[in-house]
Structure 1
Amino acid sequence: QLVTHIDPPRVHAHSLVGRHCNENGMCTLDIGPNDLTASFSNLGILHVTKKGVVEVLTRRLREEKKRQKGMHRHLTDAEETSIMKEAKELGKSMDLNIVRLRFTAYLQDSNGGFTRALKPVVSNPIYDSKSPNASNLKISRMDKTCGSVLGGDEIFLLCDKVQKDDIEIRFYEEDDEGGWEAFGDFSPTDVHKQYAIVFKTPAYHSAEIERPATVFLQLRRKKAGDSSDPKPFTYIPQVQDKEEVLRKKQKLLPNYESWRGGGE
């Protein structure tokens, strides 16, 4: 069965189609007693348009409720109203470009029926091939690979196709104490044609470094959590005029004679 890409997994509006699938988009297969491996070949996904999402979800949620109560039990008006409300809310938040597969195994009960469900297993996200999220994240080029330890440097980053509302630039450093991470500063309007991002670097966790510090940065999808291969980025210490700093630290005493009036 198809479910949403976020947890907890909920029933999805799209349907699985294939040899062992029914009209509700669920695929079932009897296995055992010797071979307990289930294999589903040549499965496809039937997409539902945005207009039909609520209708399909209402039907799926109704079937789900009936299975819980017993297929021959009728739903009350209150339950029907609750299902309609849930379908509308689920439809608003559902991403039609991402699904997951949920596998549930059932054991035979004392009456011979397969009603004892084991804990379901959910797959990794599956993306629509036409969606920007279907492609692997990749940083192609950056106009700078180093910047101030204080952050705020503007960088132009070229990348493969990304979705402007579902991408972040993660700076990180790994060590035995748990590491450090921070994120590039940009808005969706700074993502250009899905292939370039203009962002400002975050400040390094310590501004008092005496030598360059190399960290890594990567693109990461907010929803799915998958990321690109990392690229190195070097933080440069603050450049200060040591003599100027020394002069500011020195407190010059006023001239004693001038203070007295400067004469005999």
Structure 2
Amino acid sequence: MANDMRIDLNFVDHPKVKRLIRKAGYEAFYGLLRIFSVAGKMYTKGIFKGCTVDDIEDFADWHGTPGLLVEIMIEVGLMVHGEDGYAIHDWDQHQPWIYYSDVRSEQAKKAIETRWRREKNSQIDTSNTVSIRSEYGENTNSNTPLPSPSPSPSPSPSPSPSPSQNIQEKIPYAVIIEYLNEKAGTKYKVIQSVKNQINARFSEGFTVEDFKAVIDKKVADWKDTEWEKYLRPSTLFIPSKFDAYLNENISIKKHSGSKEAYRVDMSGYETL
């Protein structure tokens, strides 16, 4: 909970405040400050949930006509009434110090916990050092051989990158996709799903030249035909077809594109 309330230097000259004083007197201005104070202590979000008009005017120590103060505060725009009840208008902007006090409190708690853990770890290290010094000190003036200090555990070596990580780092994804775009006239990008397919084929032993060969063959096979829409990574690099595409004997020659002029097994493509 915040212990203070911060008022803008121009607050007393704000048009809403002036209208409040004009319509309800200076007692209303005093009441407004009391309402702000109660909100800072009990309703930090500026919402008087469950409070009635009488409750709010009690907070203000209002002695005028019952209901008038709240009515005028709503009229001039200092207060609103919504589903959650009465609330101070723009409270988070006018009193951010109070509004976000719970956030600061949580951040402070985490900072204290972090500092406590560091101090605790530091104390453990210090106590171990004192214990070793004490043990050595007792044997300094005697003929008893000094005990060997317990070996400090060697730091675990950083794990070496796995072979698959090394392979992924060396795969020229951009080279393959740029080659496809150049040959097929497409504009595919190197997104993660494309990387996954290319990486899977590399892990099976295929090379960049194999990818280029597949692209060349299928561009020659499908370009300017009804199958041209399948000149895409998800079709060309599919695991069940890639090896077959690579080993196809296709002459680099365009055809009419009709099913009669060229037969191709397209089973399964529509579900890709």
TM-score normalised by L of structure 1: 0.24
Flag the structure with higher strand content: 1
Higher Cα radius of gyration: 2
The normalised TM-score by structure 2 is 0.24
